[in-house]
Amino acid sequence: MAGSVEVFGGGTAVITGAAAGVGAGLARHAALALGMNVVLADIDEAALQRTCAEITDEGGRATPAVVDVRDAAAVQSLADSVVKESGPLRLLVNNAGVLQFGYLWDIPVDGWERLVSINISGVFHGVRAFLPHLLRQSEPAWVLNLASIGAVTARPLQTPYIMSKHAVLSMTECLHQEVALAGARHIHVGAVLPGAVTSRIFDEAGGVDRGDLSAAEKEREAMFRVREHAMGPEEAAATILQQAADGEFYIVTQPDAVHAAMRDRAQQLTARRPPAPVRSRFTAQQPE
């Protein structure tokens, strides 16, 4: 099989949510290890500039783009400008995402709507803006959408996030079929299901302002414990892009944990069992 350098090296990549976490890891690996020209898109301008400066200081090619993935017109403008300035796109990673803690009935409406608009609509906007360009080009291209191990599991007190990742997974599965139906054999679609990867998503996650505030915060604390055992972003990025180069559709960072979750999900559906109590796959902690 081809290595990731052979597949992606020298091409142009666009990564959303690229200022920190998995997105920054992907940007750094793509630019520094694979020699790609990387466009980093994020809403956090200060963090974006820092990440781009770190990459360019180490000799990589990185261009910042302040973009809110909730804004369809802004994402379309990004797609049009990248293709105009850089030519054919090799890699699109729809990565931007946020998290929300709390019982579903306590979740603020604005917290729910923010998460859905970023985690689900943000992926849709990326696909809608870039796919027409990719369909017109003859060069091979990869579209990777970030789901999560949560896309094949259920977990209380993170319902909006889990729901959104199930949606991203099904969106990506349907997109894979649609690209094939359109005869676009040069476009490769992949669903990325990371396990625990170091990021600030738990710190920045929304909470609740009514109801059981302590339950929401206990879940956040549980996730901080999970993070202590998490994979580093650049190691995760190397794993993700190598699996994409290998032609995998279901791309995972920790095969033992994620594949076990997939098997459990399949068995649960086959047996028509209700969801079981949750225990983390990454620590010995019992569920809160």
What single letter denotes the amino acid at residue 15?
I
Measure the CA–CA gap between 78 and 53, rounded to whole angstroms.
20
Measure the CA–CA gap between 103 and 112, rounded to whole angstroms.
12
Measure the CA–CA gap between 59 and 188, rounded to whole angstroms.
29
User: Is 161 known to be catalytic?
Assistant: yes
- Backbone phi, psi, residue 252, to 5°: -130, 155
CA angle 182, 187, 188 (to 5 degrees): 115
Burial of 54 (0-12, 13-18, 19+ CB in 10 A): middle
- Choice among 101, 130, 142, 161 that is catalytic: 161
Measure the CA–CA gap between 165 and 153, rounded to whole angstroms.
10
| Active site members | 161
